[in-house]
Amino acid sequence: MSDRELQRVDFLKAAGLADAGRAPLPGDASTRRYERLTTPQGASLMLMDQAPAAESQPCDPSWSPERRRAEGWNAVARLSAGRIEAFAAVAAHLRSLGLSAPEIIAVDAAAGLAVLEDFGDDLFARVIEAGEPEAPLYLAAVEALATLHEAATPEVLTGAAGDWPLLAYDETALQGGADLFIEWLPRLDPALDFGGGAVAEWRAAWAPVVARGAAGAGVMAHRDYHAENLIRLPGRGPASVGMIDFQDAVRAHPSWDLHSLLQDARRDVPPEIEARALAHYFDLRPQIDRAAFQQDYAGLAALNEARILGVFARLIVRDGKPRYRAFMPRMWAHLNANLDKPGLEGVRAWFDRHVPVERRG
């Protein structure tokens, strides 16, 4: 038995769950893993396992941009490093607003282990595949976001594992994410070559988008808000959208979770549903300047799509996970469409100079 398995066994024993059945769930792109627990009485729970040693340190709020870049990726852009403490604190905030986040049954933050309420398997993506109409699910997801965005956003959250700073998705994080594209795409596609001049042009082209995104970072963003991380919970009224995997939450521009939801990397969202969902969001938050918001939505969506293309390239090249190549054409399609939107003329010109159309797909 490995040392980590011994930790899991001891934790479950301390939580009164030594006799629970354990069934591992499929992994994702992270260092985190889950098991479904079944008690002798038939209750179902989730074991969340995020070993702190598997990640570098979270970002310290006092670190300068230079220090963050020196400390590595988590300090630049991931910020929370996926910590259990972050999950517990974000869950408490969501639940305080009447939204559905899993209840924390037991937690050992130092070990990176928690037992959570089990929301079941009705992921939006799966129930849509089974024939559930898409529009009501997406509109419910937008309603949950509007509730979150209308609420005050504390700089420090408090949960079952203590306090946690909710850091801003700022200029360093936004540009650091975009830079994954120029770092990793040439390693996947050797026909691309971004020299020093191209890198400087890249950052200059994105600068207005980054500045607007950082200036608008005023709400809590789940940051991985899409149909594979949302669970249908019928009978809960306004809390019918179960949220999971929000441990990387930050203060960000309110468009961030919207474009993650509506320009999904993993499934096609019909354009008419995207338009209807955005209109619903604006109806719920009528004080918003729609034209300015839509410009930011397109700009930050494009930046995120470049970031995700870089992440996928890294997963393929560095981590030996070729299945992520199948998601790249969808991200290219979203990015190409956004490059035609107002405010992205400089970014589009960069792509026209350095990434021929035939290499964008």
Each residue's pLDDT expressed in tens, for the chain with a length of 361 residues = 788 999 999 999 999 999 999 999 886 656 789 999 999 999 999 999 998 877 888 999 999 999 999 999 889 987 888 899 999 999 999 999 999 999 999 999 999 999 999 999 999 999 999 999 999 999 999 999 999 999 999 999 999 999 999 999 999 999 999 999 999 999 999 999 998 899 999 999 999 999 999 999 999 999 999 999 999 999 887 799 999 999 999 999 999 999 999 999 999 999 999 999 999 999 999 999 999 999 999 999 999 999 999 999 999 999 999 999 999 999 999 999 999 999 999 999 999 999 999 999 8
* Residue 3, phi then psi, degrees to nearest 5: -60, -40
What pLDDT, on the 0 to 100 scale, is given for residue 235?
A: 84
Q: Which two tokens stand for residue 276?
A: 């209807």
Q: Is the dihedral of CA 100, 103, 109, 114 positive or negative?
A: negative
Q: How far apart are CA 226 and CA 205, in angstroms?
A: 28
Q: Where are the beta strands (DSSP E) in 78-178?
A: 104-108, 113-117, 156-159, 162-165
What pLDDT, on the 0 to 100 scale, is given for residue 82?
A: 83
Q: How far apart are CA 230 and CA 148, in angstroms?
A: 15
Residues constituting the chain: 361
Q: Which two tokens stand for residue 72?
A: 């590595």
82, with CB counted inside 10 A (0-12, 13-18, 19+), is buried
Amino acid at site 196: G
